[in-house]
Amino acid sequence: MTDAATPSRAREGDPTAAIESCSCPPGLDPKPTVPLRDVLDRVARELAHLADLLARFETEVGPRMLEAAERDPRLVWHLQGLDQIVQRATGLVAFLAALAPTAGGRCRLDPGPAAGVVTLADMAARLGFRDDEIPPAVVDEGDCELL
């Protein structure tokens, strides 16, 4: 909705402001917009990457936690929590991947305001469709990246 009844959504930095452009007729919205299905695809890819990182972490840490659980049984509960996080992230990826094609091409939005609240610069650039701003990888796959 882009009428005067929703001024709070149009505030600078409000991630929900992007939804307003969904109701604008094509060609009338001066903001750069992308199809909702493309945004859903990007979010699904980010979640898939996260789920993969978590699954690799679980594979590496899991056996060590099970060994340590012999001394502290509460660690099994934490390992089960990690497994549930992986399953939930994977489920969300599947959901978004199935949902994206149904979004159609008419609904477009400006992902910029929502991407602006993301604190990781490369993720914010990807989710904001500012691919030209993504810094080149400074760490090769398999290398250790320390803070």
The pLDDT tens digits for 51-106 are 999 999 989 988 888 888 889 888 888 888 989 999 999 999 999 999 999 987 78
Q: What are the E-state strand segments in the chain?
A: 34-35, 108-109
Question: Angle 110-116-118 (CA atoms, 0-180°, nearest 5)?
Answer: 120
How high is the pLDDT of residue 78?
Answer: 85
> Domain extents for the chain?
14-133
**Rounded Cα distance, 62 and 42, in Å:** 29
